[in-house]
Structure 1
Amino acid sequence: MGWLAYLVGIFLPYVALAVFVAGFIYRVVCWSRAPRHLPWELFPYPRTAGERVGEMVMEVVSLRSLKLHNKNIWLPSLLMHWGIYLVAGWLFLVLVGCPVGLLGYLGGLAAAGGSLWMFAKRLCRGLKILSTPVEYLNLLLVFLISAGGIISGFFGEGPAVREYAVGLLSLAPRLPSRPSLLWEIFFLEIFLLYLPFGRMIHFAAKYFTYHRVKWGESH
């Protein structure tokens, strides 16, 4: 168990982070070099920087386009996304020394419930023929991470998580004080390794989707 704990808790975090950063940069470079779409201004779109930021924020917060084009999965998707936002907010507060365990648990419940709901939706007849195995894999991964954080008590261990994260960031890594947290750390490492090469990286493509495609801008 000693070497396995060292592998998951000390070695793999740096590997996962390096792969994530390299993969993220690679995908962004590929998007930036893609041929420009033919600009067809068929509808009014925001011209000023403030209007464009507002448009993108509204899309991220409400998933308005999904509601418009595929209302059947809008609510479970919104629940899952807001769960992820809450977990990310909890992690930020943990890192700055203000852990709010309730925020993490609420985010975990929302992400787990939303991903499970989405999984069930995609098994229904109408969506099953349109769903690919990778979409089920994405939902399963989100469910495992969020449910694992609840079951392992990860969201209630803010100080221990902060101590571990600070150790990694300061290049003085130490194993977490609670060995059970290693399971959640392992799932997060798998998530980071997979994220740049799967469809969940779409959050990073929002700029290009809006400026290069939807709004037809070259810059």
Structure 2
Amino acid sequence: RRLWLRSFPFHFGLYLIASAGVGLLVIAGVARLAGLDWLGAPVGQAAAWIVAATGSLGLVLALFGAVALLHRRATEPALRAYTTAGDVFNLVFFAAALGTLGAGYVTRPEGSPGALSIVIGLLSWDHSVRVPALLAAGLMSTAALVAYVPLTHMSHFIGKYFTYHAVRWDDAPLGRDPKMSAALAEYLTYRPTWAAAHIRAKGSPTWGEVVTTNPTEEGRR
């Protein structure tokens, strides 16, 4: 539970930030296609407010989670044996990038461009947009973080749902589902090539043969 209280805000915050980023791109794209006057309409204002609130909440949660996870790795004896320099660097990178981005956005001078204006400027190649130094540093460090994450195990927060949670949550009984029955029948004809001894892939048995054979007793089903 102590880990969950730190891990959940971190991951959920990243999901909110990603959602806000996609929302900004969509709103900015619509603004470019429909004209900037669209942003002054109630729908445009509401959409911009929702995206801003989502992104702000996500940034706070992710920053808190990164710092909390870093603190736990530094103070929890049970985790020290599993903590590598890469783990520490990754969390420090997240905390530094998100902290700089948040600080730059909050402290930007009056009249400075907001998130939506910056994205619209990027999409339109508008060189007249002037971004304050601290905010620019936050944007660049966050962009570097986005490019860095896919190269590390930290990218698990992107695919873990599809490779773990969706599998566990979709663990339904076969019942009378002809579609699932047909799919399982096909899967059982596949031939694994794993080297693990308990699979006994030598001779290329099918999965159907593997799952009906006792791995501790040759040939016994």
Q: TM-score range by the shorter chain?
A: 0.5 to 0.7
Structure 1 residue 135: Cα displacement: 1.4
Task: Show the counterpart of 2:17.
Answer: 87
Q: Aligned residue for 1:202?
A: 156
Question: Runs in 1 of length 4+ with deviation above 4 angstroms?
Answer: 154-159, 208-215
Of 99, 121, 135, which aligns to 2:48? 99
Distance 1:139 1:154 in 2: 22
1:176-191 map, 5 Å? 176-180=129-133, 181-191=135-145
Q: Contact (CA 8 Å) 1:99, 1:158: kept in 2 or not?
A: no
Q: CA deviation at 1:138?
A: 1.7
The equivalent position to 1:122 in structure 2, one of 39, 49, 73, is 73
Given that 2:10 and 2:64 are in contact with CA atoms closer than 8 Å, whether structure 1 keeps it comes out as yes
Q: Distance in 1 between matches of 2:157 and 2:77?
A: 28
Q: Structure 1 pair 84/203, CA: closer, same or farther in 2 (3 Å)?
A: closer
How far has the Cα of 1:152 moved from its partner? 0.8
The runs of 5 or more residues in structure 1 that have no matched partner are 1-70
User: C-alpha separation between the residues in 2 aligned to 1:192 and 1:102?
Assistant: 21
| Structure 2 unmatched ranges of 5 or more | 28-43, 172-183, 191-221
Once residues 126 and 175 of structure 1 are traced to their aligned partners in structure 2, the CA distance between those partners, rounded to angstroms, is 52
Structure-2 separation of matches of 1:194 and 1:164: 22
- Work out whether residues 87 and 108 of structure 1, in 8 Å CA contact, stay in contact via their aligned partners in 2: yes
Shift of 1:91: 2.7
SS of 1:178 mapped into structure 2: coil
Residue 193 in structure 1 maps to residue 147 in structure 2: yes
Q: Of 96, 104, 123, which aligns to 1:169? A: 123
- Name 1:76's counterpart in structure 2: 6
Counterpart AA for 2:72 = K
Whether the 8 Å CA contact 1:160–1:177 is kept in 2: the answer is no
The amino acid across from 1:178 in the alignment is V
CA contact (8 A) 1:83 1:109 kept: yes
**Cα offset for 1:188?**
1.5
Work out which of the two has the higher radius of gyration on C-alpha atoms and give 1 or 2: 2
Counterpart in the other structure of 1:55: none
Contact conserved, 1:86 with 1:103, CA < 8 A, in 2? yes
Letter paired with 1:94:
L
If asked which structure has higher relative contact order (CA below 8 Å, sep 6+), I would say 1
Task: Specify whether residues 169 and 151 from structure 1 end up closer, same or farther in structure 2 by C-alpha distance, changes over 3 A only.
Answer: same
SS in 2 for 1:150: helix
The TM-score, its normalising length taken from structure 2, stands at 0.54
- Which is helix-richer, 1 or 2? 1
CA contact (8 A) 2:17 2:59 kept: yes
TM-score, normalised via structure 1 length: 0.55
Amino acid at match of 1:177: R
- The 2-side partners of 1:117 and 1:127 are apart by 13
Cα deviation, residue 74, structure 1: 1.4
Match of 2:175 in 1: none
Judge conservation of contact 2:121–2:129 (CA < 8 Å) in 1. no
Q: CA RMSD in A?
A: 3.4
* Alpha-carbon distance change, 204 to 118 in structure 1, aligned in 2, over 3 angstroms: closer
